[in-house]
């Protein structure tokens, strides 16, 4: 047997951080991950990179039947545009992509919820996420805005984002994170941001979330303030940081890029993404 499954999945940025209360919201962006899952004669799991090794081993061993694992060589190659470790949902994109590839390989009718649950379970077991990052995986998988209950694994709502919007992302040169458990100190703030997102007030929710995450984790909030002064539709901190994200329409894109480029670090520009993940099967 020689078979290649290729999945293209996109990244996302936070609207509401789900750590404090298990309710989250995120927005898909166009930075992408391409995951190639190949199955051939042989044995064992062979990963192209050690990055995410624990996560993918857990996922593959759980999702593939033992007979397949014992009788075949499973190879996974990841090509990613998403920076790792900056709160841009790289782990969620990769694990969801591999889960989708496995489901396609097994010949099952694609079950979106099953793919997302497998990704969330592996994220918890690998110690990558406290809540399973169901909001992140859902935004990566479906694109657009998503609002989720991570504990019950429920997609509460999904809305497309305007196609003329871009995310300007600052990857700070100095990476520092505060104590993640500080996010539990103000659950009512995240509840309020979540209610805003649930009512489609995504931009206010993102601003409030960013203020709370910045204050509780001790992040540098100066770039966020600078972006808001330059007429960003919204701005905040993605994930648990350290990346700063500003959302711009085409009229203010240039000024926002200039504003965030004045800070030490790397600036990325990514269109928002409304496209669902895609899967291709190269059999034989």
Could you say which DSSP state residue 233 is in?
Answer: S
Cβ partners under 8 Å of residue 274, min gap 6: 28, 143, 144, 160, 161, 163
Q: What is the pLDDT of residue 119?
A: 96
Tokens in use for 231?
């007429």
- Read off the pLDDT of each residue in 260-273 and give the average, rounded to a whole number: 98
Q: Would you state the pLDDT for residue 1? A: 63
Mean pLDDT for the stretch of residues 74-99: 96
Give me the mean pLDDT over the 147-170 stretch.
Answer: 98
* Residue corresponding to tokens 């406290």: 130
On whether the CB atoms of residues 183 and 216 are closer than 8 A, the answer is: yes
Alpha helix (H) residue ranges in the chain: 53-63, 66-71, 90-105, 112-125, 134-142, 187-198, 202-217, 222-229, 253-261
Residues 6+ apart with CB under 8 A from 108: none
Q: State the average pLDDT over residues 255-269.
A: 97
Name which of 94-98, 195-199, 279-283 the model is least confident about.
279-283
The domains spanning 3-161+274-283 and 166-271 adopt the same CATH topology: no
The model carries a pTM of: 0.95
Query: With bands split at pLDDT 50, 70 and 90, how would you rate the model's confidence at 144?
Result: very high
pLDDT given for residue 280 in this prediction: 96
Integer angstrom CA distances of residue 185 from 20, 124, 190, 252: 8, 22, 10, 35
CATH architecture of residue range(s) 3-161+274-283: 2-Layer Sandwich (3.30)
Task: Work out the average pLDDT over 83-93.
Answer: 94
3-state secondary structure of 37: strand
Alpha-carbon gap, residue 160 to 149, rounded angstroms: 19
Q: What is the mean pLDDT of residues 251-280?
A: 97
Q: What is the mean pLDDT of the chain?
A: 95
Q: Provide the pLDDT for residue 52.
A: 87
Domain-by-domain residue ranges, the chain? 3-161+274-283, 166-271
Q: Answer whether CATH 3.40.50.300 is correct for domain 166-271.
A: no
Question: Has residue 108 got a pLDDT over 90?
Answer: no
Report CA-CA distances (Å) from 181 to 19, 99, 185, 195, 221: 9, 29, 8, 22, 19
**What pLDDT, on a 0 to 100 scale, did the predictor assign at position 174?**
80
Please name which of 124, 105, 87, 91 lies closest in space to residue 36, comparing C-alpha atoms: 105
Nearest to 11 by CA among 219, 200, 224, 167: 167
Main-chain dihedrals φ then ψ at residue 121, nearest 5 degrees? -60, -45
Distance separating alpha carbons of residues 83 and 213, to the nearest angstrom: 20
pLDDT per residue as tens digits for the range 90-103: 999 999 999 999 99
Q: Which has the minimum average pLDDT: 40-54, 137-151, 226-240?
A: 40-54
The model's confidence at residue 26, banded by pLDDT at 50, 70 and 90, is very high
Residue 50's pLDDT band (cuts 50, 70, 90) = confident
- Compute how many other C-beta atoms are within 10 angstroms of the C-beta atom of residue 238: 30
List the structure tokens of 238: 């993605």
Going by pLDDT thresholds of 50, 70 and 90, the confidence category of residue 2 is confident
Q: In 3-state terms, the chain is what percent helix, strand and coil (to 5)? A: 40, 30, 30
**Three-class HEC string of 43-98:** CEEEECCCCCHHHHHHHHHHHCCHHHHHHEEEEEEEEECCCCCCCCCHHHHHHHHH
Res 178: pLDDT = 82
- Of residues 199 and 175, more confidently modeled: 199
């Amino acid at each position: 047997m020689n078979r290649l499954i290729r999945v293209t999945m996109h990244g996302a940025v936070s609207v509401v951080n789900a750590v404090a209360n298990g309710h989250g919201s995120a927005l898909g962006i166009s930075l992408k991950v391409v995951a190639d899952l190949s199955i051939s004669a042989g044995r064992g799991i062979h990963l192209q990179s050690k990055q995410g090794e624990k996560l993918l081993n857990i996922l593959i061993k759980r999702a593939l039947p033992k007979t397949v694992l014992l009788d075949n060589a499973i190879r996974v190659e990841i090509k990613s545009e998403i920076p790792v470790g900056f709160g841009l949902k790289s782990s969620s994109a990769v694990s969801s992509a591999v889960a989708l590839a496995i489901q396609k390989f097994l010949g099952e009718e694609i079950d979106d919820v099953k793919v997302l649950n497998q990704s969330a379970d592996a994220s918890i077991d690998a110690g990558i996420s406290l809540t399973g990052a169901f909001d992140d995986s859902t935004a990566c998988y479906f694109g657009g805005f998503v609002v989720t209950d991570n504990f019950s694994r429920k997609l509460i709502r999904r809305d497309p984002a305007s196609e003329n919007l871009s995310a300007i992302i600052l990857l700070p040169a100095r990476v520092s994170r505060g104590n993640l458990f500080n996010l539990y100190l103000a659950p009512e703030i995240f509840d309020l941001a979540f209610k805003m997102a649930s009512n489609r007030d995504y931009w206010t929710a993102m601003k409030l979330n960013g203020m709370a995450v910045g204050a509780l984790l001790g992040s540098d909030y100066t770039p966020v303030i600078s972006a808001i002064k330059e007429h960003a539709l919204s701005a905040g901190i993605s994930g648990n940081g350290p990346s700063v994200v500003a959302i711009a329409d085409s009229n203010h894109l240039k000024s926002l890029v200039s504003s965030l480029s004045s800070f030490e670090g790397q600036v990325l520009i990514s269109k928002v993404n409304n496209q669902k993940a895609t899967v291709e099967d190269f059999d034989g």
